[in-house]
């Protein structure tokens, strides 16, 4: 039925002040989830950084408080507090009015990264409460706000010898979908800013009161350190980081000349990937823009000109292209632009036309000077580019061969691809990359009409350490690229040819499946990055178990979830009664489920204890009896008797006692110690329980169950009551196993070791059905760290990988034994 309500002047609503921001927050901060939440913090931080750009600040401290609020403190000049011509004090004006701020005044800020008077007022509008303290003229001025409105007048709160601004705010849950600040997201951005502001002597710190963590970042060499750190774990081809920086005055559009500052650091490695980060006024322009175009043009021209002048071309060789010169390139380009024009509010692409020529000129001149002073560097870069050109030519021939072969065969699609039904729109189509022919056959049986299945044979090539020609000669990779349809590499990517709106990696839930999934993600991230950047790549989460009781069936993807579902399905009226020194505590229903989940979580950490030490996990847990006591770090066995020791000092003292008068001591420290166990005077084992176990024990005690309940004793009796059945145990772990046995009665648990073990309907229902499945979209939150992880784990250098494994070995889960 059409809406017959009148549409007249009364239908027009005017939202005064910051009400429009609260009504449509996504228009101002992008969204109201994780990204938008942290955007609020960045607006405050950017204002503090702008103070440093103006030469008035050298330090920014960010603190996440225990109540979830965030504060940002700088040592700048402080927000003005005097009266404004509008009738409001200047502080209240910038906090409550859109488009009010010092960044419109060119004498106050030459450049800035904030939202030109929108940012800080938007933060205020989207905060449950916000407090501002200004340290200025020997006084501390304070004013508070609530949801964008003033909640107190400006007042003097004390005296001070410092200057600066402190803003503390609590994101408003009424408008924000997410309100929990991420330490890692803050850390990544603050570290990035410290690189960018390093040469001006700026320090940034982060403190998280929730987890008692703090870090401080300062990088005196700025972008040089940034580029060098980006190449961690890679083999560099020239040790010196090429560094260029210059400020020029430029006239734009007939206006007075304005300053443009260009800073660049670059270094090549022997890899096959380009890794370039660009910034404008400290804003990460992840989609590049005119500055990136100018840099690439200058780099290609400078290297080709050098090669011609030094006669590095042989005969009639074709010169390298820009793509060849960017293979193995790591670079950071940072600009300060007086009037940046971004293509969107989120500022991911620069549009200033004049910037391209400015960057091209400054970078070109800087490279020419550097090449003249250090000729060995451009020669090594040019030789690498020539290798890249030859590989590219070989890859082109391989690609052309594949295309000709596909044309002769007909449709051009892989023969083993089971495509969607005809008429399916690309945006609705889904491509499942399935591990093995067996799983592929099962998936074909259960798929929906809009789902295509491409079985993969074994593990594909690791593209992280393979040249382009080797990659395109790999049959399985050719098959994947052909099926997707977009082309290969960023410069060939054509989204209009994408045949599927979702590309879903579906592998077995085991170590081999994880490896195949990682190899596929490496292919997409390194060689088809636009698929990841534009959100087309997903990972399916197949079940480990199917749990059935009567007509109820549940699929679960982890052992932890399995325990929870068993309790939900099978616990029934089972109760656990703990009698301790005459006092009874009864756990049933949700309270018992919570206890079972907690104990199961604790027991999952048992593998962190060295197996050959024969340590009782229950005895180990019982060592932490008080909430303020840490778990012991060592287990020492001497003359058949073992004991826990809390610290290295305690261990050293015990070993000194054992050493004896002759000073001889043989210590067995595991299989790698070089000492036979039966010949050792003492056996020493390091214990790696970590804070997680201790926090779980504290939670257990909060439920009224002491940690020493895991040790059998006469003081405590554990009774399991289930209907007419009744049993008793002497320790909590045994009681847990008895309750678990009750949960498993009349329940069928089926373990899936691979996708092929399910029939078509089960695979569809558990993993492929859009209404029930659990898909994870692949995205990149931290480009720098993502690049580093792929380099370490998938790259050719073994040593960084070994160090990573040693450092994180005890964090590994779901390993096959």
Higher-confidence residue of 465 and 382: namely: 382
Asked if 508 is an active-site residue, the reply is yes
Q: DSSP string spanning 158-203? A: EE-S--EEEEEEEE-TTT-S-----HHHHHHHHHHHHHHTGGGT-E
Say which of 128, 215, 387, 510 is annotated catalytic: 510
pLDDT in tens, 705-736: 876 777 776 678 888 888 777 888 888 888 88
Give pLDDT, residue 412.
Answer: 64
Mean pLDDT of 265-275: 92
Give the strand pairing for 242-250 and 59-64: unpaired
Say which of 75, 508, 600, 683 is annotated catalytic: 508
pLDDT higher than 90, residue 614: no
C-alpha closest to that of 784 among 18, 98, 51, 228: 228
- The torsion defined by the Cα of 27, 31, 37 and 42, in degrees rounded to 10, comes to -50
C-alpha closest to that of 169 among 49, 51, 45: 45
C-alpha closest to that of 790 among 530, 523, 531, 522: 522
Asked if 3 is an active-site residue, the reply is no
Higher-confidence residue of 175 and 413: namely: 175
Q: DSSP string spanning 582-651? A: TEEEEEEHHHHHHHHHHHHHHHTTGGGS-GGGT--HHHHHHT--STT-PPPSEEEEETTEEEEESSHHHH
Task: Kindly state the tokens that stand for 766.
Answer: 């558990």
Task: Assign 401 a pLDDT band (cuts: 50, 70, 90).
Answer: low
- The torsion defined by the Cα of 811, 813, 815 and 817, in degrees rounded to 10, comes to 90
Give dist(CA 774, CA 748) in Å, integer: 23
How many Cα atoms are found within 13 Å in the side-chain-facing hemisphere of 38?
A: 14
pLDDT higher than 90, residue 356: yes
pLDDT in tens, 20-43: 788 877 777 878 888 889 989 999
Task: Kindly state the tokens that stand for 141.
Answer: 């001025």
- Give the ranges where 246-375 is alpha helix by DSSP (H): 290-309, 322-325, 353-373
Say which of 51, 419, 435, 742 is annotated catalytic: 435
Mean pLDDT of 665-687: 82
Give pLDDT, residue 400.
Answer: 66
Please check whether residue 646 is in contact with residue 625, taking contact to mean a CB–CB distance below 8 angstroms. Answer: no
Of 99-113, 225-239, 502-516, least confident by mean pLDDT is: 99-113
Give pLDDT, residue 647.
Answer: 84
Residue with tokens 């054992």: 658
Asked if 584 is an active-site residue, the reply is no
pLDDT higher than 80, residue 186: yes
Give pLDDT, residue 13.
Answer: 40
Residue with tokens 């009224």: 704
Mean pLDDT of 304-309: 91
Question: Which long-range contacts (C-beta less than 8 Å, at least 24 apart) are formed by 630-634?
Answer: 630/694, 631/687, 631/689, 631/693, 631/694, 632/687, 633/686, 633/687, 634/684, 634/685, 634/686, 634/687
Give pLDDT, residue 613.
Answer: 82
Asked if 428 is an active-site residue, the reply is no
Distances (CA, A) of 648 to 610, 651, 652, 655, 710: 18, 5, 6, 11, 26
- The torsion defined by the Cα of 223, 228, 232 and 235, in degrees rounded to 10, comes to 150
- Supply the mean pLDDT for the chain: 84
Q: DSSP string spanning 675-703? A: S-GGG-SEEEEE---HHHHHHHHHHHHHT
C-alpha closest to that of 263 among 217, 218, 196: 196
Of 64-78, 108-122, 748-762, least confident by mean pLDDT is: 108-122
Name 336's bridge partners: 261
Give dist(CA 565, CA 546) in Å, integer: 10
């Amino acid at each position: 039925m059409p809406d017959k309500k009148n549409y007249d002047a009364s239908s027009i609503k005017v939202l005064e002040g910051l009400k429009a921001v609260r009504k449509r927050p996504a228009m101002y901060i992008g969204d109201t989830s994780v990204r938008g939440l942290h955007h609020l913090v960045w607006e405050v931080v950017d204002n503090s950084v702008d103070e440093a750009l103006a030469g008035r600040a050298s330090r920014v401290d960010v603190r996440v408080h225990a109540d979830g609020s965030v504060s940002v403190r700088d040592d700048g000049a402080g927000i003005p507090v005097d009266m404004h011509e509008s009738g409001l004090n200047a502080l209240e004006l910038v906090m409550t009015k859109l488009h009010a701020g010092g960044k419109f005044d060119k004498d106050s800020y030459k450049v800035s990264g904030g939202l030109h008077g929108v940012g800080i007022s938007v933060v205020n509008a989207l905060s449950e409460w916000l407090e501002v303290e200004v340290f200025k003229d020997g006084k501390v001025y304070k004013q508070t706000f609530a949801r964008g409105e003033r909640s107190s007048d400006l007042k003097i709160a004390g005296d001070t010898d410092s200057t600066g601004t402190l803003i503390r705010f609590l994101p408003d849950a009424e408008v924000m979908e997410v309100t929990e600040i991420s330490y890692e997201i803050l850390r990544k951005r603050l570290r990035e800013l410290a690189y960018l502001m390093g040469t001006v002597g700026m320090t940034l710190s982060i403190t998280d009161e929730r987890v008692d963590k703090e870090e401080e970042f300062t990088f005196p060499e700025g972008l040089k350190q940034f580029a060098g750190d980006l190449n961690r774990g890679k083999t560099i081809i020239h040790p010196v980081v090429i560094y260029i920086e210059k400020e020029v005055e430029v006239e734009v559009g007939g206006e007075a000349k304005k300053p443009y500052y260009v800073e660049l650091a670059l270094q090549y490695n022997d890899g096959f990937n380009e890794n370039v980060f660009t910034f404008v006024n400290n804003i990460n322009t992840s989609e590049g823009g005119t500055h990136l175009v100018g840099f690439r043009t200058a780099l290609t021209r400078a290297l080709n000109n050098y090669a011609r002048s030094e006669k590095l071309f042989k005969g009639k060789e074709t010169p390298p292209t820009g793509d060849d010169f960017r293979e193995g390139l790591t670079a950071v380009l940072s600009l300060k632009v007086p009037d940046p024009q971004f293509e969107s509010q989120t500022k991911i692409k620069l549009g200033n036309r004049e910037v391209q020529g400015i960057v091209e000129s400054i970078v070109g001149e800087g490279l020419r000077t550097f090449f003249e002073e250090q000729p060995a560097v451009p020669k090594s870069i040019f030789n690498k580019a020539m290798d890249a050109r030859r590989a590219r030519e070989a890859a082109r021939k391989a690609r052309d061969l594949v295309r000709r072969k596909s044309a002769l065969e007909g449709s051009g699609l892989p023969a083993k691809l089971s495509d969607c039904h005809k008429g399916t729109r690309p945006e609705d189509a889904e491509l499942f990359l399935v591990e093995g022919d067996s799983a592929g056959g099962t998936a074909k049986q259960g798929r929906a009409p809009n789902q295509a299945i491409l079985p993969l044979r074994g593990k594909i090539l690791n593209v992280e350490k393979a040249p382009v020609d080797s990659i395109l000669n790999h049959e399985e990779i050719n098959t994947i690229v052909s099926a997707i349809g977009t082309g290969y590499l960023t410069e060939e990517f054509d989204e209009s040819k994408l045949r599927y709106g979702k590309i879903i990696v579906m592998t077995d839930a085991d170590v081999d499946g994880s490896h195949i999934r990682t190899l596929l993600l490496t292919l997409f991230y390194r060689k088809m990055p636009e698929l990841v950047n534009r959100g087309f790549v997903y990972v399916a989460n197949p079940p480990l178990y199917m749990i059935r009781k009567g007509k109820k069936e549940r699929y679960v993807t982890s052992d932890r979830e399995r325990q929870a579902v068993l309790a939900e399905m099978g616990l029934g009226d089972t109760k656990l009664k703990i009698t301790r020194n005459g006092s009874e505590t009864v756990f049933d229903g949700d309270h018992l489920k919570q206890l079972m989940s907690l104990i199961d979580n604790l027991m999952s950490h048992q593998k962190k204890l060295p197996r050959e030490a024969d340590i009782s996990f229950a005895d180990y847990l019982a060592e932490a009896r008080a909430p303020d006591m840490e778990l012991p770090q060592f287990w020492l066995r001497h003359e058949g008797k073992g004991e826990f020791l809390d610290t290295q000092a305690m261990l050293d003292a015990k070993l000194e006692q054992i050493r004896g008068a002759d000073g001889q001591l043989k210590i067995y420290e595991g299989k790698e110690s070089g000492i036979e166990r039966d010949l050792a005077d003492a056996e020493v084992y390091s214990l790696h329980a970590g804070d997680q176990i201790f926090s779980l024990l504290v939670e257990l005690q909060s439920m009224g169950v002491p940690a020493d309940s895991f040790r059998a004793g006469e003081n405590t009796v554990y009774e399991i009551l289930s209907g007419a059945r009744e049993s008793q145990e002497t320790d909590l772990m045994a009681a847990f196993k008895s309750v678990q046995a009750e949960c498993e009665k009349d329940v069928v648990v089926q373990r899936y070791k691979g996708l092929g073990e399910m029939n078509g309907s089960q695979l569809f229902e558990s993993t492929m059905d859009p209404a029930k499945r659990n898909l994870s979209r692949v995205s990149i939150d931290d480009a720098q760290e993502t690049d580093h992880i792929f380099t370490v784990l998938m790259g050719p250098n073994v040593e960084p990988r070994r160090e990573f494994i040693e450092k994180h070995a005890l964090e590994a889960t779901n390993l096959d034994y």
